[in-house]
RNA sequence: GCUGGCUUAGCUCAAUCUGGCAGAGCAGCUGACUUGUAAUCAGCAGGUUGCGGGUUCAAUUCCCAUAGCCAGCUCCA
C-alpha cells in the first residue's frame, strides 16, 4: 500500500511500513545528516520508525534546538558505550542533553581523569565510524527491570521502578542497551563533531545524601565548524572572566578574611557609583521615592515576615542586649515598617518606594563565585504598594522600565520567565491564584513571549524574571517582579479607600539589575572591561611625550576635571609606544597625546585606546566630544 | 555543605612526581636616556613556600588537619 506523507507542506508517496529515513534516501539523498528527526504535532518521531498511515510532519534539523538536543543525547549514549567498553565494571546512571552539550553519570571503581578523555574520545570515534544503528524496543516494565537487575545496573532499575507506565523503551547501540525515552538519531555516523569537556562529581539524583557519581561532560554539534565556534566562545568567556579583569583593572577584591564579601577598590567604586547615580536618576524620572532601612533587625520581625521559618538557613544572627537579631537577607520587612508608620489613602497609590538595600545571605561556601555569587550584596530593590486593580498596569510599567534600563547598559536581547508557587510557601490558594493570574495577564497584554518555570517562585509570591544576553550570547537572570498578597496580610497593611474603609494593598517586589555587585560582574564580562565612556573608571589618560610637556598636560587635565571627567596623566619617563601599550592594558577609554605640536598650538590629539584613528582637537571640542560620548550611551 | 584539584615574591609562573642552598618575567625602587603611536638600558631590592601539626639528619616537596581559591553537584540576586 502507498502512503502519502506531507512534509513541510510537500507531499511524498512511500510504501507502507517504510520509514522517514527511506523517504529521505529516495527523495532527498543529499539531506543526509542534516535531518535528524521529524515532528508530528508535539510528538517527535524518529526517522527509522516504520510508518503505517498517512501523516503530516515537519523535519527536525540539526540546526534547530530540538535537533541539536537529540544529537547530543545520542552522543551521550555513544560515550556511555565507549566508557563501558574501556571500563567494563562501570555502572551507568543518567545521560541527558544540556543547554550546551550532554553528560553521563557513571559509578565506577576507576577514577576517571581528563587524560582518559583521549582514550574515550578515540573509542567514541570508532563507534561513530562503524555506523551502529540506534534500535528502539518497547518492553514491559517487569522485563526491563529484570534485565537491569541481572546486570547489576542499580541506577537504571531504580528509575524503572518509578516509571508510571506499562512499558518502557530501550535503546540498543552496539552491545549497550539503555533505558531511554528517545528519540535518537538513526545511527552513530550522524555525529559529525563532538568533544569531551570536563569531569566532575555529581550526586545520584542531585541529592547530597546519595552516592557521588562521576559525571563526564561533553558537547556535540552538527558540524565541526560549530563545535570550533563553541570552543572559541569558551576561550573568549575565560578571557572575559570578571575575576581576572577585576584584578587587572583594580576594580574589586576578595580576601580570606571575608569569603564572599566583596571589597570595592577605587576603580570599581567609580563603576558602582556611576550605576547608582544613573539608577537614582531614572527612578526619580519614573515616580519612585527612596528609603534606607537598617541591616540588623529584631528576630520578631523575621518571624512575622515568615523569613525565620522559610529562609533561616541563609540568614546571619546576632545578639544585642540579650535579644536575638537577624541581619536582613531581604529588604521588604523593613520597608513595610515604614509603610505601616502612618495611614495611607487610596489617592497615594500606587506608592513606589525604592531602596538600594544591602543584604547578607549565608550562601554555602562551595557556591561563591566572584561577584556572581556573594554573601553580601546590594539589591536595587523597590516595593510598589497598590490596589488589586492597579497590579497589572504597574507590572506593565515595571516591564517597560526594565527594558529601558537594560538597553541603556547595552543589553537589547531580553527574555522573560514566569515562576509559579513553590512547595515551600506562605499564603492562601486564592492569593496565589490571583497573584499568578495578574502577572500572566500583564505579560499577555503586552504580547510578550515568556517561559513558565513551575514551582520556582519566591515563598511569598510568584515572579517574573528577566534574562539578558551578553556580548558572547550567554544569558543572565537579573531583574525580577514578584507579586505578593501574603506580606500585606501578615503585616496587616492597609490603605483607606474611596469608601472610607480600610483595604489591603498588594505589594510588588521588584529589582531590575538584581544585585549591583552581580550586575557589575556581568557588565565586566559583557564589555570585556572596555566600558562605555560614562562608566569607564579612567575616561582619559594623557600621555606627554617628554617631561617638557608635563605642565601643559596638567593644565589640560585640570580643565577637563572641572567638567567632572576622570582624567589621569602617565608621568613615567617611558617612550610613547610603552605608554600606549600600558594604557591599552589598563583598558583606558581614550588617550590624549601631548607633544611639542599640541603644546604650541594648544591642541590635544586623542584616540580611543583600542583604535588607530587620531583626532586633533581644541579643548572645547574635546569637551563637546566627551559630552556627546556620554549622551550616546545613555 | 559535598567530590576533586590548587595555594611558591605585589602579579603571572618555575623548582614538588624522584625530599638536599627557592628561580624567572612583569610590576616596584635607584640611576642614565627626554623620547611622536603596542615594551629604552643598567643596577638594587623583593620569600618563615596559605596557616598549624607530624615523619625525616634534612620538607616548598611525603603524611594529617585547617582556611581560602578553582571546577562541578545542590542552591541562587
Our answer to whether residue A463 is catalytic in this structure is: yes
Element holding A429 (H helix, E strand): helix A429-445
Could you tell me the pLDDT band of residue A633, with boundaries at 50, 70 and 90? low
Confidence of residue A632 (pLDDT cuts 50, 70, 90): low
- Checking each nucleotide's C1' against the CA of A584, the nearest proves to be B38
- Measured CA A573 to C1' B43 distance, in angstroms: 17
Q: What percent of chain A has pLDDT over 70?
A: 99
Lowest mean pLDDT among A193-207, A347-361, A570-584: A193-207
Protein CA at A559 to nucleotide C1' at B46, angstroms: 40
**pLDDT reported for residue A595:** 94
Residue A572: Cβ-neighbour burial (10 angstroms; 0-12, 13-18, 19+) = exposed
Residue A392 and residue A513: Cα distance in Å, rounded? Answer: 21
Give the nearest nucleotide to A580, CA to C1'. Answer: B38
What is the dihedral sign for C-alpha A415, A420, A424, A427? positive
Nucleotide nearest to A255 (CA to C1'): B68
- Which among A380, A381, A465, A470 is annotated as catalytic? A381
A577 CA, B28 C1': separation in Å? 21
Measured between alpha carbons, how far apart are the two ends of chain A, in Å? Answer: 67
pLDDT (0 to 100) of residue A197 = 85
Per the residue annotation, which of A72, A73, A383, A510 is the catalytic one? A383
Write the CB contacts of A578 (distance below 8 Å, at least 6 apart in sequence): A572
Per the model's pLDDT, the better-predicted residue between A510 and A27 turns out to be: A510
In the three-class reduction of DSSP (H, G, I as helix; E, B as strand; rest coil), residue A228 is classed as: helix
Residue whose grid cell is 588607530: A612
Nucleotide at minimal C1' distance from the A607 CA: B37
For residue A550, name the pLDDT band (cuts at 50, 70, 90): very high
* Residue pointed to by grid coordinates 545520542: A74
Q: In this structure, how many other beta carbons lie within 10 angstroms of the beta carbon of residue A67?
A: 21
What the block records as the C-alpha cell of A237 is 568567556
Q: Give CA–CA dist A90/A108, Å, rounded.
A: 4
CA angle A498, A499, A501 (to 5 degrees): 110
* Catalytic (active site) residue A332: yes
Among residues A328, A463, A549, A587, the one annotated as catalytic is A463
Q: Would the pLDDT of A128 be above 70?
A: yes
Residue A383: active-site member: yes
pLDDT of residue A56: 87
Q: Residue A589 has what pLDDT?
A: 95
Asked if the bond preceding A141 is cis, omega within 30° of 0, the reply is no
pLDDT of residue A570: 95
DSSP line for A582-611: HHHHTT-SEEEEE-HHHHHHTEEEEEETT-
What is the distance in angstroms measured between the alpha-carbon CA of A212 and the sugar C1' of B4?
11
Count CB neighbours of A284 within 10 A.
Answer: 12
Phi, psi of A630 (to 5 degrees): -60, -45
Are A617 and A594 spatial neighbours (Cβ–Cβ below 8 Å)? no
What mean pLDDT comes out for the span A377-397? Answer: 95
* Residue-wise pLDDT tens digits, A159-210: 888 887 888 889 999 989 898 887 899 999 999 999 988 888 788 887 777 7
CA dihedral for A608, A612, A618, A624, sign (positive or negative): negative
CA–CA dist A197, A103 (Å, integer) = 10
User: Are residues A427 and A460 in contact, defined by beta-carbon separation less than 8 angstroms?
Assistant: yes
How many angstroms separate the CA of A216 from the C1' of B9?
38
- pLDDT for residue A114 is more than 80: no
Nearest Cα neighbor of A386 from A505, A268, A226, A511 is A505
Q: Is the pLDDT of residue A634 over 60?
A: no
Q: Is A361 a catalytic residue?
A: yes
Q: Would residue A379 show up in a list of annotated catalytic residues for this protein? A: yes
Across A40-44, A129-133, A155-159, A345-349, least confident range: A40-44
Q: How much of chain A, in percent, has pLDDT values that exceed 90? A: 57
Q: Which nucleotides of B are covered by protein (CB under 7 A)?
A: 1-4, 11-12, 28, 32-40, 67-77
| Total Cβ atoms within 10 A of residue A1 | 7
CA-to-C1' span, A375 to B1 (A): 15
CA/C1' separation A366–B75 (Å):
10
What value does the mean pLDDT of chain A take? 91
CA distance A300 to A262: 29
| Cβ burial, residue A542 (10 Å; 0-12/13-18/19+) | buried
Lowest-confidence segment of A223-232, A301-310, A574-583, A609-618 by average pLDDT: A609-618
| Residue A26: band (very low, low, confident or very high) from pLDDT cuts 50, 70, 90 | confident
Mean pLDDT of A434-453: 90
Greater confidence (A32 vs A48) lies with A48
Using C1' positions and the CA of A215, the closest nucleotide is B72
Which residue is closest to B3 in terms of CA–C1' distance? A201
Given a cut of 70, whether residue A477 has pLDDT beyond it is yes
Read off φ and ψ for residue A385, nearest 5 degrees. Answer: -95, 125
For residues A516 and A251, what is the distance between their CA atoms, to the nearest angstrom? 14
| CA angle A245–A249–A253, rounded 5-degree value | 75
Q: Which bin fits A208, alpha (ψ -120 to 50), beta or left (φ > 0)? A: alpha
Helical spans, DSSP H, in A461-606: 486-490, 516-527, 550-561, 576-585, 596-601
- Of A195, A361, A510, A518, the active-site residue reads A361
- The verdict on whether A467 is a catalytic residue reads no
The set of cell numbers assigned to A306 is 515568615
Closest CA to A244 of A528, A624, A564: A528
Q: Nearest nucleotide, C1' to the C-alpha of A258? A: B68
pLDDT band at A435 (very low <50, low <70, confident <90, very high): confident
A264-305 pLDDT per residue, tens: 999 999 999 999 999 999 999 999 999 999 999 999 999 999
Give ipTM to 2 decimals: 0.94
How many CA atoms are closer than 13 Å to the CA of A16, on its beta-carbon side?
A: 5
Question: Nearest residue to nucleotide B1 when comparing alpha carbons to its C1'?
Answer: A364
What is the model's pLDDT at position A4? 87
Q: Do the beta carbons of residue A315 and residue A324 sit within 8 Å?
A: no
When pLDDT is averaged across residues A348-368 and rounded to a whole number, the result is 95
Does the annotation mark A360 as catalytic?
no
- CA–C1' A263–B11 (A): 18
What integer pLDDT is reported at residue A314 of this predicted model? 93
Amino acid at each position: 500500500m502507498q502512503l502519502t506523507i506531507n512534509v513541510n507542506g510537500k507531499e511524498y508517496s512511500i510504501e507502507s511500513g517504510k520509514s522517514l529515513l527511506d523517504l529521505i534516501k529516495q527523495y532527498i539523498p543529499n539531506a543526509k545528516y542534516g535531518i535528524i528527526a521529524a515532528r508530528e504535532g508535539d510528538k517527535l518521531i524518529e526517522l527509522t520508525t516504520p510508518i503505517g498511515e498517512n501523516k503530516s510532519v515537519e523535519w527536525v534539523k540539526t540546526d534547530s534546538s530540538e535537533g541539536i538536543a537529540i544529537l547530543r543525547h545520542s552522543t551521550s549514549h555513544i560515550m556511555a558505550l565507549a566508557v563501558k567498553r574501556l571500563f567494563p565494571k562501570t555502572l551507568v546512571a543518567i545521560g541527558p542533553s544540556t543547554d550546551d552539550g550532554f553528560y553521563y553519570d557513571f559509578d565506577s571503581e576507576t577514577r576517571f581523569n581528563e587524560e582518559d578523555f583521549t582514550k574515550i574520545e578515540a573509542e567514541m570515534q570508532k563507534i561513530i565510524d562503524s555506523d551502529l544503528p540506534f534500535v528502539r524496543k518497547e518492553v514491559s516494565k517487569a522485563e526491563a527491570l529484570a534485565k537491569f537487575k541481572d546486570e547489576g545496573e542499580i541506577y537504571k532499575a531504580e528509575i524503572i521502578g518509578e516509571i508510571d507506565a506499562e512499558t518502557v523503551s530501550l535503546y540498543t547501540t552496539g552491545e549497550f542497551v539503555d533505558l531511554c525515552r528517545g528519540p535518537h538519531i538513526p545511527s552513530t555516523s550522524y555525529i559529525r563533531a563532538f568533544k569531551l569537556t570536563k569531569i566532575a562529581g555529581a550526586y545520584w539524583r542531585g541529592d547530597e545524601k546519595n552516592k557521588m557519581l562521576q559525571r563526564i561532560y561533553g558537547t556535540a554539534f552538527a558540524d565541526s565548524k560549530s563545535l570550533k565556534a563553541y570552543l572559541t566562545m569558551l576561550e573568549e568567556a575565560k578571557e572575559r572572566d570578571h575575576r581576572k579583569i577585576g584584578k587587572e583593572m583594580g576594580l574589586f577584591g576578595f580576601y580570606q578574611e571575608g569569603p564572599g564579601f566583596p571589597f570595592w577598590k577605587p576603580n570599581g567604586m567609580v563603576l558602582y557609583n556611576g550605576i547608582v547615580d544613573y539608577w537614582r536618576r531614572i527612578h526619580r524620572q519614573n515616580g519612585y521615592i527612596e528609603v534606607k532601612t537598617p541591616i540588623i533587625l529584631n528576630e520578631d520581625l523575621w518571624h512575622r515576615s515568615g523569613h525565620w521559618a522559610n529562609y533561616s538557613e541563609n540568614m546571619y544572627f546576632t545578639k544585642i542586649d540579650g535579644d536575638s537579631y537577624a541581619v536582613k537577607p531581604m529588604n521588604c520587612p523593613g520597608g513595610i515598617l515604614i509603610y505601616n508608620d502612618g495611614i495611607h489613602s487610596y489617592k497615594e497609590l500606587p506608592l513606589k518606594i525604592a531602596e538600594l538595600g544591602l543584604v547578607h545571605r549565608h550562601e554555602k561556601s562551595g557556591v561563591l563565585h566572584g561577584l556572581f555569587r556573594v554573601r553580601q550584596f546590594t539589591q536595587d530593590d523597590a516595593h510598589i504598594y497598590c490596589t488589586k486593580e492597579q497590579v497589572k498596569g504597574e507590572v506593565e510599567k515595571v516591564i517597560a522600565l526594565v527594558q529601558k534600563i537594560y538597553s541603556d547598559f547595552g543589553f537589547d536581547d531580553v527574555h522573560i520567565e514566569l515562576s509559579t508557587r513553590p512547595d515551600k510557601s506562605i499564603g492562601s490558594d486564592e492569593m496565589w491564584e490571583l497573584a499568578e493570574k495578574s502577572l500572566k495577564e500583564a505579560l499577555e497584554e503586552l504580547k510578550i513571549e515568556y517561559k513558565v518555570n513551575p514551582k520556582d517562585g519566591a515563598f511569598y509570591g510568584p515572579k517574573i524574571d528577566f534574562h539578558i544576553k551578553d556580548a558572547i550570547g550567554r544569558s543572565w537572570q537579573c531583574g525580577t517582579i514578584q507579586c505578593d498578597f501574603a506580606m500585606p496580610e501578615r503585616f496587616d497593611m492597609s490603605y483607606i479607600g474611596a469608601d472610607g474603609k480600610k483595604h489591603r494593598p498588594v505589594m510588588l517586589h521588584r529589582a531590575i539589575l538584581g544585585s549591583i555587585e552581580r550586575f557589575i560582574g556581568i557588565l565586566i564580562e559583557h564589555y570585556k572591561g572596555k566600558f562605555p565612556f560614562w562608566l569607564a573608571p579612567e575616561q582619559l589618560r594623557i600621555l606627554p611625550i617628554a617631561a617638557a610637556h608635563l605642565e601643559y598636560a596638567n593644565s589640560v587635565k585640570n580643565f577637563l576635571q572641572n567638567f567632572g571627567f576622570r582624567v589621569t596623566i602617565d608621568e613615567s619617563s617611558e617612550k610613547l609606544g610603552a605608554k600606549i601599550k600600558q594604557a591599552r592594558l589598563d583598558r583606558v577609554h581614550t588617550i590624549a597625546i601631548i607633544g611639542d605640536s599640541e603644546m604650541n598650538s594648544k591642541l590635544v590629539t586623542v584616540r580611543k585606546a583600542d583604535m588607530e584613528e587620531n583626532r586633533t582637537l581644541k579643548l572645547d571640542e574635546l569637551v563637546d566630544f566627551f559630552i556627546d560620548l556620554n549622551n550616546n550611551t545613555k
